[in-house]
Amino acid sequence: MTVRSSDGDALDELLEERASSGAYFLLINATPWALIKSYSHSYQMKTWDCPQNISPGTSTRIFMEGTGRPDDGAECRYTINDLNPAAFEIRYHQKFGATPFIPGVHVVFMGLETLHNPDGTTLTLEWRRDNNMPFVLASSELHPSNPSAQIVSSNPPQDWMHATYSRISCLSLCELSMPGTHDSGMSVFSGGSGLGLPINTLTQELNIREQLQFGARWFDIRPVIAGGNWKTGHYSFHDGTDAWHGGNGEEIRSIVDGINDFTANNKELVILKLSHGLNTDTFAGDKDNHLSQAEWARLLTFLEGINNRVINRGSTPDLSRLRVSDFISDNRAAVVIVVDDVVDSRGTRVQISAAAADKGFFQPGQLPLYDSYANTNNQDGMISDQLGKMARQRPNPTADMFLLSWTLTQSGLSIIDNAKGANYALEEKLWPAMSPSSYPNVIDVDAYPRRGDVAALSMAINYHFARTC
């Protein structure tokens, strides 16, 4: 039914303005199977064009745009290799009266069951005008009719590593992909110095506990002393003002508690990288301010409060060559803590004593990782930089671990607002650039999403590109 008005032309113009742009349903088929369209219907849609076949291992963008009327609607159903009823349906409808005027897009499982998503589940996607709404489907099983076939998808379980243990247990860390967060502790602003404000210091919307719950497993922790307390920080020194500018974030105690609560209930691998240590109480215009060796020693003693640390491995030359099963099991979580910092202007590295090493603290050389951000606020430039570095630095899955730094420097908008735009392009740009020879071990982002989309992407990488156990 079409809405009528005494001024039909004016209403049409209003609806046209409201529906002037659509969005892209981004489907990643990380399975060995073809997805075949078995049904499609639309009503009053400007654009609704689902392809007939979606090939294995490919990503497909489906543009959808309605007219803005309350009864706009469309459905498109895909089956797996014509195996009914193994299907899912993409549905579009108009949320009439919503402010702003936002359509609804859903994925409904119809005969298909994935990890954490039983048959009948409806996933509601975030409408992203003129941008991507990702949905991931992945499996390593060659025959979908096999009742033991495990299929994973968007909306992953909280304990995604444990839930996919049979698939990833044999992989070494340099073969595994996982989500990570940049400046992980900067989800709150708890004071700072100079020109430090929330807009230019906050990098995350979720605290560490929440990041863990939505799948992040690699954390960039930057410890600072602020008011005599251990916190995280985000600071830089400006030569023009001879001063440090930045802000403090989540307290280290809160991070310890969050990790312990999570690993008490989830047998997952968690990796912390500690760097950029500063004593903000003694800045005094000192460009070479660093945490001292003694301050680092006190911090490591404090961090002994983290449970499930990987202990008595201090002599292990390269943790990245160990398998996932060497760290976690059905009844064991694992926390790896890498200290990668200097204590003075001469570049003297933080020393890890033999006692500290056996208590679960490691030098950066014990977990070799290439980590080089683009240092640009241009999204296309960042993407080109990172994908190029991945191709060069990660030529095969046994090369040193590679961190994909999907981050932008600030320009105009807040760091978080810039990051969200970059994150919307992640699946679209990264998926076609990967191969079984080259993929990231850590997908490092600002504004880590609450939806678990990065975790779903990592699961798809592990299922589709990593070797089969």
Q: What is the pLDDT of residues 305-343, one digit of tens each?
A: 999 999 999 899 999 999 999 999 989 999 999 999 999
- Asked if pLDDT for residue 143 goes beyond 80, the answer is no
266 is written with which tokens? 């989830």
Sequential DSSP letters for 155-176: S--TTHHHHTHHHHTT-BGGG-
Say how far apart CA 139 and CA 120 lie, in whole Å: 19
pLDDT at position 279 is 95
- Sign of the CA dihedral 456, 462, 464, 469? negative
pLDDT at position 3 is 32
Report the CATH fold assignment for 161-464: TIM Barrel (3.20.20)
pLDDT at position 242 is 84
- Asked if pLDDT for residue 9 goes beyond 70, the answer is no
Q: Which residues contact 431 (CB under 8 A, 6 or more apart)?
A: 28, 59
Confidence of residue 148 (pLDDT cuts 50, 70, 90): low
Confidence of residue 98 (pLDDT cuts 50, 70, 90): low
- Through-space distance between the first and last CA atoms of the chain, rounded to whole angstroms: 54
Confidence of residue 5 (pLDDT cuts 50, 70, 90): very low
Which H or E run includes 104? strand 103-110
51 is written with which tokens? 């392809």
C-beta atoms surrounding 153 within 10 Å = 27
CA 368 to chain centre: 21
Pick from 26-30, 86-90, 175-179, 389-393: least confident: 86-90
What are the CB-based long-range contacts (under 8 Å, 24+) for 238-245?
A: 238/194, 238/195, 239/287, 241/194, 242/285, 242/287, 243/193, 243/194, 243/283, 243/285, 244/193, 244/194, 244/278, 244/280, 244/283, 244/289, 245/192, 245/193, 245/194, 245/195, 245/196
Q: What is the mean pLDDT of residues 205-214?
A: 98
In which residue are the tokens 């949320």 written?
95
Q: Give residue limits of the domains in the chain.
A: 8-155, 161-464
In which residue are the tokens 């402010």 written?
99
C-beta atoms surrounding 30 within 10 Å = 25
6 is written with which tokens? 């005494």
pLDDT at position 2 is 30
pLDDT at position 144 is 73
Q: Which residues contact 402 (CB under 8 A, 6 or more apart)?
A: 369, 370, 389, 390, 393, 394, 440, 441, 442
Say how far apart CA 179 and CA 454 lie, in whole Å: 6
- Asked if pLDDT for residue 13 goes beyond 80, the answer is no
pLDDT tens-place string over residues 220-271: 999 999 999 999 999 999 887 888 999 999 999 999 999 999 999 999 999 9
| Residue with the larger pLDDT of the pair 188 and 98 | 188
Look over the chain and give the mean of its residue pLDDT values, rounded to a whole number: 92
- Asked if pLDDT for residue 14 goes beyond 70, the answer is no
Cis-peptide into 51, omega within 30 deg: no
Confidence of residue 12 (pLDDT cuts 50, 70, 90): low
pLDDT tens-place string over residues 439-451: 999 999 999 999 9
Q: Which phi and psi angles does 450 have, rounded to 5°?
A: -70, -20
For the segment(s) 8-155, the CATH number from 3.80.10.10, 2.60.270.50, 3.10.290.10, 2.40.10.480 is 2.60.270.50
Q: What is the mean pLDDT of residues 111-131?
A: 95
Q: Which phi and psi angles does 320 have, rounded to 5°?
A: -70, -15
Confidence of residue 51 (pLDDT cuts 50, 70, 90): very high
Confidence of residue 6 (pLDDT cuts 50, 70, 90): very low
In which residue are the tokens 């209930």 written?
265
Q: Are residues 168 and 324 in contact, defined by beta-carbon separation less than 8 angstroms?
A: yes
- Asked if pLDDT for residue 20 goes beyond 60, the answer is no
> Which stretch, 15-19, 71-75, 158-162, 286-290, has highest mean pLDDT?
158-162
Which H or E run includes 235? strand 229-238
pLDDT at position 90 is 98
pLDDT at position 84 is 73
434 is written with which tokens? 């990967």
Which H or E run includes 322? none
Confidence of residue 1 (pLDDT cuts 50, 70, 90): very low
Q: Which phi and psi angles does 71 have, rounded to 5°?
A: -110, 20
- Asked if pLDDT for residue 165 goes beyond 70, the answer is yes
Phi-psi region of 185 (alpha: psi -120 to 50; beta: other; left: phi over 0): alpha
291 is written with which tokens? 């945490």
